[in-house]
Every structure is written in C-alpha cells, then in structure tokens.
Amino acid sequence: MKRVHQNLPKISTMVKRMADNEKKVNIPIGPIHPALKEPVQIEVSVSGERVTDVNITLGHVHRGIEWVGTRRNPIQTLYIAERVCGICNICHPMAFCIAIENAANIAVPERAEYLRTIFAELERIHSHLLFLGVAAHEMGFDSILHYTWLTREKVLDVVEMLTGNRITKGIMMIGGVRRDISDSQAEKIRAAMDYYEKVYGKMCNIFLDDKTIKMRTRDIGFLSKKDALRFCAVGPTARASGVKKDIRQDYPYAAYPDIDIEALTPEFLLKETRGDVYDRVVMRAIEIKQSIDIVRECLKEMPSGPIVSEPVLQKLLFNLKQVQGEGVALVEAPRGELIHYIKMEKADAPSSWKIRAPTYANLHVLRTMLIGSELADVPVIVASIDPCMSCANRAIIADKGALLYQEKLRELCIGKTRRLRGATK
C-alpha cells in the first residue's frame, strides 16, 4: 500500500482524502498521458491497489465530423470519412460508400469488391501489428514494439505502392475503387504475404511461449461471454471472450460472401477461451494469419472487369443529387463492427450521417474489465481493447478534473513486469 502511494502523483484531492483517512483514492489518468496515445480521460478509484470504480470521459477528439459531413457533397465527405481515423482509413470510407450505395441502389462491379477486400485486409494486418506493438510497449517489452513496427513497414510499403500513400490511401470511391491492382503489383502483394507468414510464425513463438507476456497478461482484465453479449461488445474484444461475432462472417459485404470466413476465437491456438488480456492479444495474432489467407484467396479469385460503376465524377454527383433514401452499412473494421448510416434527401449534402466506431461499443466493457483489477494493470487492460479514441470521439465529453502528466502509471506497470520476471528467475 505504501509503495503505491509513493509512486502516485501528489494531487490535491488525493491528499485531502488521505487526510480524511479514507481508503478510496481517485486517480485521474489523462487526457494527456504517456500511457495513452490519444486523449481520453479515465478516472480510476482505487482502494489499496485494487480498482473499485472507473469513470471514462471522452470528447477530446470530437471534431464534429458528422455535422461537417452534412454541409458538403458526398464526394467531399468521402475524404472526411477517411480522416475519422488515421488507422482504420479504409473501413470508414468503405462503410460510407456502402451506405451511399445502399441508399442510391448503386451496384458495385465484382472486381471492385475484391479490390476493397484486399485493401481492408492489408489494413487489418497493419492495424493488428500496430496493436501487438503497443500492447508489448505497455508491459515494458519494447523490443517487441520495435520488432512489430519494423515488420509493419512492409505492409505500408505495399499500400504505398498500390495507392500512393502510406496512411491515408484515398482509394475508395462511391461505386467502386479509384485504382486497380496490376499483375506485377499482385506479385509483390503475394511476396509480402509470404513474408508475413514467416512473421506470423515468429509472433506465435513470441506470444505463445514467452513467459513474460503470459505472466503479465494472463488472468487479468476478464470479460465474460455474458457481459460481452449484454454490453454489445464487438470485434476481437468480443471474440476473445468466445462471442463469435464477425461481420465478415455474419453479414458479408464486398467479396467476403465468396470466401468462407469463420469467426475465430482464441481456441484456434490455445486450449481454451478465458476472455482475459492474453486472449485478446493472441486473438490479434490469429487474425493476422486469417487476413493473409483472405488476401491470397482474393488475388487468386479476382474477376476481371471495371473497377468503378460511374467513372465520371460530375455525373456521379448529379445522380447522387437525385437520391431520396437512406442507407446503412456494416463493416468489420480491425477493432470490430463499424456502422455508418446516411440519409439523402435530393440535395447536395446528405441530411444526416451517423458513424459508430467499434471503440464506442467496447468502452462499455472496458469498465467491467477494469473494476477489480490492479492499478498496475490498468494501462495494459486499456490497451487490450485497442482503443481508438479518434474514432469513438467524433461525437462525444469534457472534464473539469485535474490534468496530470504522469509516467508513474506506466512505470508501475513496467515495474510489475520486472518484479514478476525477477520472481521466476
């Protein structure tokens, strides 16, 4: 108990409460905090080292995107959709396009659906590698961070070759995609997939056999299957608790209906599904393998034909201006189910646009995971849902709480890793 207090920042509320001989202490984390890559504020109440309550406030990244989108025409809005999030900037424009196509009854050429699928899976590989690095970083295992981010550069190179940019790709278009994949490019994608097959093997070795990772992530941050269902958790977070929800399997879009995708759970590699942080980490590693297979299959089965239904943008805009209707799209983003809703009423701009990013749904379960855990485990548990605040926060909260710049929490987290490691030597 004493150790923790020495490590905690001296904040007025805490000092006051300690003076009152109260055992409960509130610790605000964020919005600017080294353990969080993005602004979000998590207020944790602790008793001793145990977390007793959690209050998450958001809104620091709210940029009013949906509102801005109702002031511009759909093609301009497509580029805002791309800037909802710098990590999932294939799925946001893709969901936006599918929603508009649904509202306007636009049929997408088959080849474009395959191209979309390939881009989406390349994005999943990059996002999951990024996650594995961040998760390792939070437990103080920086060599893995550097290894995963080094391997991630390869997929960024491929994306750059295909689209011209590493991060924002500008590849989606309403009714299709903007650039085709040539045979020589397909060859390079295949080579990259062979490379990732090897990386996956190495990842499995690291994440399945390394003692430190297991010690640090096993049996913390539990999410039961019941809670995952009740709180509508999505994506790898839900699957790691044994809920086989995967939009690619349940409600296939693009080229997914042609590929028999099965929603995987950690049982694919492990004997059981526990729903702890370790399961969520391993889940991502498993999905890298799944993505490699999907990309290969798409390259093999890709039909020929046009890549966009209406290549003349002025004509497309004119057509969209006549549309009266609404569309809704579900897409499996790297972090889970993403939904876009759009309403068009014969005007330049859509009259309503709603985005629900996966983190938005998973924030409910984050609270369940944190309560009862140790303070030193908070950063790694938060990282385990792979939160993406810029997605979740287009639309959300403010705080008046104290602002802290503390490396202390991450230090605590790393300290525990070192302690555990020392204990087994």
Partner 1 sequence: MGIDALKRSLWVFHVNAGSCNGCDIEIVAALTPRYDVERFGIKLVGTPRHADVLLVTGPVTRQMKDKLLRVYEQTPEPKLVVVVGNCGSTCGVFYESYNIEGPVDKLIPVDVYVHGCPPRPEAIIEGIAKAWAKLEKTKVKK
Partner 2 sequence: MNTESFVNELKNLLSNETKDIVVSETQHGKSKAKAFRLWATIDPKNIHGVVRKISLLQKDPHFSVSSGTDLGNEIELLYHFALNYAKPKSQVLLTLRVKLPKSSPVIDTITDIIPGAEISEKEKREFFGIEFRGLPPGNAFLDESLAGVHPWRKDEKGASKFAKNIHNGEKNG
Please report, as ranges, the residues that interact with partner 2 according to CB under 8 A. 57-59, 62, 64, 66-67, 71-73, 102, 108, 110, 113, 229-233, 243-245, 247, 249-258, 260-263, 301, 303, 328, 330, 337, 339, 341, 343, 348-349, 351-352, 354, 356, 360-361, 363-364, 395-398
For residue 380, with 0-12 CB atoms within 10 Å meaning exposed, 13-18 middle and 19 or more buried, which class applies? buried
Nearest to partner 1 of 37, 364 (CB atom): 37
Phi, psi (degrees; rounded to nearest 5) at 386: 55, 60
Least separation in angstroms between residue 382's CB and partner 1 is 15
Identify what 352 binds: partner 1, partner 2, none; CB under 5 to 8 Å per kind: partner 2
C-alpha span between 390 and 275 (Å, rounded): 26
- By CB under 8 A, the residues from 112 to 151 that bind partner 1 are 130, 133, 145-146, 149-150
Least separation in angstroms between residue 139's CB and partner 2 is 28
Options 61, 228, 261, 288; binder of partner 1; rule CB under 8 A: 61
Identify what 307 binds: partner 1, partner 2, none; CB under 5 to 8 Å per kind: none
Amino acid, single-letter form, for residue 12: S
Nearest to partner 2 of 190, 364 (CB atom): 364
Identify what 250 binds: partner 1, partner 2, none; CB under 5 to 8 Å per kind: partner 2
Least separation in angstroms between residue 194's CB and partner 2 is 26
Residues with Cβ within 8 Å of 271's Cβ and at least 6 positions away in sequence, in order, are: none
Nearest to partner 2 of 215, 349 (CB atom): 349
Nearest to 297 by CA among 116, 114, 109: 114
**Is residue 348 involved in binding partner 1 (CB under 8 A)?**
no
**Is residue 349 involved in binding partner 1 (CB under 8 A)?**
no
Asked whether the beta carbons of 91 and 333 are under 8 A apart, the reply is yes
Nearest to partner 2 of 185, 249 (CB atom): 249
Identify what 386 binds: partner 2, partner 1, none; CB under 5 to 8 Å per kind: none
**Is residue 153 involved in binding partner 1 (CB under 8 A)?**
yes
Asked whether the beta carbons of 346 and 323 are under 8 A apart, the reply is yes
Least separation in angstroms between residue 83's CB and partner 1 is 5
Q: How far is CA 276 from CA 77, 213, 225, 339, 341, in A?
A: 39, 13, 11, 26, 33
Asked whether the beta carbons of 239 and 263 are under 8 A apart, the reply is yes
Asked whether the beta carbons of 173 and 78 are under 8 A apart, the reply is yes
Least separation in angstroms between residue 129's CB and partner 1 is 11
**Is residue 84 involved in binding partner 1 (CB under 8 A)?**
yes
Name the token pair of 12: 């007025």
- By CB under 8 A, the residues from 172 to 211 that bind partner 1 are none
Least separation in angstroms between residue 411's CB and partner 2 is 30
**Is residue 89 involved in binding partner 1 (CB under 8 A)?**
yes
- Interface region with partner 1, contact rule CB under 8 A, candidates 27-35, 198-206, 294-302, 332-340: 27-35
Least separation in angstroms between residue 39's CB and partner 2 is 13
Least separation in angstroms between residue 148's CB and partner 1 is 9
Identify what 141 binds: partner 1, partner 2, none; CB under 5 to 8 Å per kind: none
Nearest to partner 1 of 139, 145 (CB atom): 145
Nearest to 92 by CA among 326, 364, 353: 353
For residue 76, with 0-12 CB atoms within 10 Å meaning exposed, 13-18 middle and 19 or more buried, which class applies? middle
Binding footprint of partner 1 on the chain (CB under 8 A): 31-32, 34, 37-39, 59-65, 67-68, 71, 79-80, 83-87, 89, 130, 133, 145-146, 149-150, 153, 156, 166-168, 388, 390, 398-399, 403, 405-407, 410
